[in-house]
Structure 1
């Protein structure tokens, strides 16, 4: 297939979340044809799974400029720029209206199962860059299809692949057998069934990032109504000056407030910390569970376990592409040093775009949370700037693609060398506070 016929093909965008839909909006603005493939039944399907959680970012930081231009003719008005939406608010009042404007450029119930060069597996060099991409999908009714694309923007995120309990990055012994008592998400305690699961019971919360703070704060609130509710907070490291984040010094005030709520939960006795505990196994103790550490220590028996040890990218359907990924973070090679959590916070990430997001395989880009691999503290603003740069490059406007400008808020939560000494610190979000009323009128969870 020659270049001119390839150029007439759509750019496939994987995922109708905030960054994928922003990519589509920028493509439309550039006169390029997007095709957004979303595995779920609606826009922001992953976001809807944490609908009860309030973001750290305000509405003013969550609306992409190109997307707003598409929405404006419909009469859509940006919500109060200073307000903090929940995930549900974000999906209902921004993501779904944006997808509706894009119309048939968004396809639901289309799960991507593979991406490759047409007629070329990853070994073949001959005429490789001249071939379009083939995108294999499975529809919600079980049919298989193969689509053709001029380029692929993977904005599928990391929500579907939470990290396991084991400290070595693999499931702990017995973790799968105990699955009926193990959760990997911040619980929605407004749901009566979920609330009953944790009320009056002891729960191990494993992790030290914002999602863990959220769970601790929620369980502490529950303890006020359900005596006996208690959290065993399991950390792989010790408690230090930075454990609870930046507090009032955090330029994302909602995140700082969340750390203070987690500290209050511990100080009030609703949570007890178990430090330096690297889980090796999960064992049964009657109807309860016990976590066993690498050094042989054992937790007190608990009724439930909430594992919040970070997220990781699903790279399985990209196996026939030639990606350049960092060995540690699984992020694009040129981007990895800029987002290394041992050095950077989300407010100290150097502005980046198509140059840092490119791979040996021309025309394929990982953007949004997926571009960060296993690194934490991704912000929606970062993703919007990424897709602005990538789409400019796809349109042949190299000057605009290389003109990357982005100023992000500094944070005491995730800054400083040595703060992230393990993946459990990451929860892959730019938000976190449960959407239950607080004196600050903000809540606790994850997001962008």
Structure 2
């Protein structure tokens, strides 16, 4: 049975105060109406009713009243186990069920402070995919339509569930859950193609589970958490494919709507040491769609981009755009390989899907394929950081090209991963610099 250190239902602060108050009523630590802390009106009334029942009819009456209130407020059922767990006798102050807080002897809710020793005692982060993803963290995979995001997410999940290397990198064997929002039939073909490509593996395994509908993560939070708790082993990976379908109606440009969902996702990752991989879309400018909350509240940002945007069959780059606690990994080069599944017996139509594979051709130098003018523009950027204006002016003067030509070549260099945008120190505008290529980590081999 999976466990965590916080409440299963992740109560809000006023709900947690209510839970602690009701537990103290049951334990006869709170015996007077005026001792009930300030609560929303309906919760205050419920607490008063339970206090009266406990005073007049002892614990039998308390639980009868509690069960009656739960008929109208189903949340109370999920809190019953917490309320029945007595606080350790003589503990000062009493620890509440949420490890982030303490209850003082006077009943006040206090923050629990950690020491440096507490932080040092935390377990070290473990790799889920060596050098790419860590257990107990959150990543976002995004890209324009047609870059194979779903195929990559599925490939990652199945590799972990079978414990086979992903793109040559070691993985930690574990259970993977896949929240599929784009149709069961499409997923069926993708799974058939993957197992046809990996013909030595069998699809009858317990380490891969599917939620085959658009799970609204705000509405079904309780059910999701209870399902995780009900497992003998927590999932090592949950793929959310995709964010938009699992948060219907949300305004992705408003931080106050997006941030609470990402907070929930981060809590799930931390409480169950599970990696959550969120698949998301880009906006018209080609960047991740929505508020900066996406970038701020995930540990790893991964862009999926074609090496050559004009070539439909171009290799696809798996590119790290943010790594919170490590150096960004080098671009991982992949390809989508078509797989023939069957021929329709009546229409003779080919039934196909795709799988993610390592490129058949060796990885080229990043500057392979650049024209002379593109190489010159790249070289003129130098080894430091330059503003767009300074770099453009020198290129226009040196090579006699138009501004529109410079902009096209700059975009090509960005897309190939040769250069990157950076924030200029003390400036509101961005600059450009050559993108450093990180050496391969020994874990990746």
- TM class by shorter chain equals under 0.3
**RCO higher in 1 or 2 (8 Å CA, sep ≥ 6)?**
1
Structure 1 or 2, whichever has the larger Rg, is 2
TM-score by length of 2: 0.23
Higher helix proportion (structure 1 or 2): 2
* TM-score, scaled relative to structure 1: 0.23
